Amino acid sequence: MSKKDITIEYAPFKEIVIMERTYFSTPEEMARFTSVIAGGKLAGLYWAEGVVFLYFPLPASTTAVAKALIESGKVYWTFVGYSLMPRYAPTIETKEKIIVPVIDMSSDHILRKVAQWLKEQK
């Protein structure tokens, strides 16, 4: 195989295991939580399918997690926080004037599926 020959393959995750999930009653509560856990640093949220959310993946730095990812396409998210937000908005502002950016991830098939699943869990 020469340097010019390259194969590109798309292999999306086959399974996402969510270990803990927390529902917030409003997008503002979700934004407030995000601001607190970020320790004042800029942090953003994802939006798809009428759900605003954030997640923390378990790093694939351990042998067991890396093996699950490679062998079965399984990833683990240690925490997902979410709230219903029917319409996309680029930011959420709380009454304390905390402004949290929101990224529209509607083009991402996997995150759309996650958002649909979260909506069913409420």
Say if CB 22 and CB 122 are below 8 A apart: no
Say if 1 falls within a structural domain. Answer: no
Q: What is the pLDDT of residue 71?
A: 86
Q: Can you read off the two tokens belonging to residue 31?
A: 């934004």
What is the spatial distance between Cα 76 and Cα 37, in angstroms, rounded to a whole number?
20
Give the span between the Cα atoms of 121 and 25, in whole angstroms: 13
Residue found by looking up tokens 């954030």 in the block: 54
Evaluate whether residue 102 is within a structural domain.
Answer: yes
Least confidently predicted of 44-48, 59-63, 72-76, 114-118: 59-63
Q: Give the model's pLDDT for residue 10.
A: 87
Q: Which residue has the higher pLDDT, 74 or 39?
A: 74
Q: Is 28 within the bounds of a domain?
A: yes
Tokens at 23, concatenated: 């529902």
Query: For residue 113, which phi and psi values (nearest 5 degrees)?
Result: -65, -40
Q: Which two tokens stand for residue 98?
A: 């905390």
Q: 78-89 pLDDT, tens per residue?
A: 999 999 999 999
List, in sequence order, every residue forming a beta bridge with 92; answer none if it has no partner: 100
Summarised one tens digit per residue, pLDDT across range 47-63 is: 999 999 999 988 878 78
Is residue 7 included in any domain, yes or no? no
Whether 2 is in a domain gets the answer: no
The answer to whether residue 10 sits within a structural domain is no
Residues ≥6 apart with Cβ < 8 Å to 81: 21, 22, 24, 30, 33, 34, 53, 54, 55
Has residue 115 been placed in a domain?
A: yes
Number of domains in the chain: 1
pLDDT band at 2; cut points 50, 70, 90: low
Q: Give the range of the structural domain holding residue 65, as residue numbers without chain letter.
A: 15-121
Provide the pLDDT for residue 109. 95
pTM above 0.95, yes or no: no
What pLDDT does 30 receive?
95
The answer to whether residue 3 sits within a structural domain is: no
